Amino acid sequence: MAVFEFKLEVTLGAVPAIEELLGEQEEQHLMVLEDKPSGRAWLTGYFDAHEAALAGWKGFAELLDLEWLVTEPVIQELADKDWKESYKEHFKAWKFDRLHWVPVWEKAAFRLPAGDAVLWLDPGMAFGTGNHETTRLVVERLVKLAAEKGTAGRVIDAGCGSGILALSAVKLGYGLVAAFDNDPLAVDVSRENAALNGLDGRVDFFVGDLVSGLAGRPAELLLANIQADVLIKFAPELLAAVAPGGVLVLSGILASESMQVREAFGALAPAWGADARLMGEWSDLVLRRP
């Protein structure tokens, strides 16, 4: 089956704004790729037909500032082998502390250091690889919290995408893990990644939103890598889902939005401890319930 690749170069400085727009539109085909050493970035995506690629671009182009665009868009047909190889170029193995995230096509050549754990990933065209700063902020917190507080209690991944956070929690030793997404395709990809790692049934993956997905499931550790405006809108539901003594880890927040998110949650939970850190243009926020 042929796949049509859409691609145009954008300015590196426009990347945060474009990513925010992609999140707001819940765009599942287009994504931004960065090469910071060269100072270049691209808006790209994969579609099953030339017309679909063109329609996807026209709908999104209306939201963009023309000054962000470096080149005209190019749509080209790729053979099955070609698009798979193109897609793989943008997903590289990475690690934090003792946990490694490795694309499955590197499995034969990968050597796991003694005492470490690995999560094999094949995230699919439309879902995150974990290479983005927003995901890294959360997984680094997850690894540190596992060491600091132990791995007892329930973990919930709200907006699970490709399942990276939930499956990482299992690899770290958490025994009670649930994860949901409002996109059924994301849940399917998450389950496929669970099977890929021999973790079938270890995570309760299901379709849900920030109301239905959190109802009746108090968590000792709640992870939400979404986007700032959604986090603020559903702050009451997110805070209510954290068990006493539990931790809420928020990400998907632009550095410029960090204070706004912190103030919104602080107004609702003034007694909770809070700290944040930056990675590139992005921020997280960790809230600890007394």
Question: What residue numbers does the annotated binding site cover?
Answer: 135, 159, 181, 225
Phi, psi of 210 (to 5 degrees): -75, 0
CA pair distance 275, 46, nearest whole angstrom: 38
Mode of pairing for the β-strands spanning 94-96 and 203-207 = unpaired
CA pair distance 77, 51, nearest whole angstrom: 11
Q: Which of 171, 159, 152 is nearest to 134 (CA)?
A: 159
| Gap between the terminal Cα atoms of the chain | 54
> Residue 85 — left, alpha, or beta (φ > 0 → left; ψ -120 to 50 → alpha)?
alpha
Q: What residues are designated binding site for S-adenosyl-L-methionine?
A: 135, 159, 181, 225
Secondary structure, 3-state, 203-228: EEEEECCCCCCCCCCCEEEEEEECCH
CA pair distance 172, 150, nearest whole angstrom: 10
Phi, psi of 33 (to 5 degrees): -115, 135
Mode of pairing for the β-strands spanning 176-181 and 203-207 = parallel
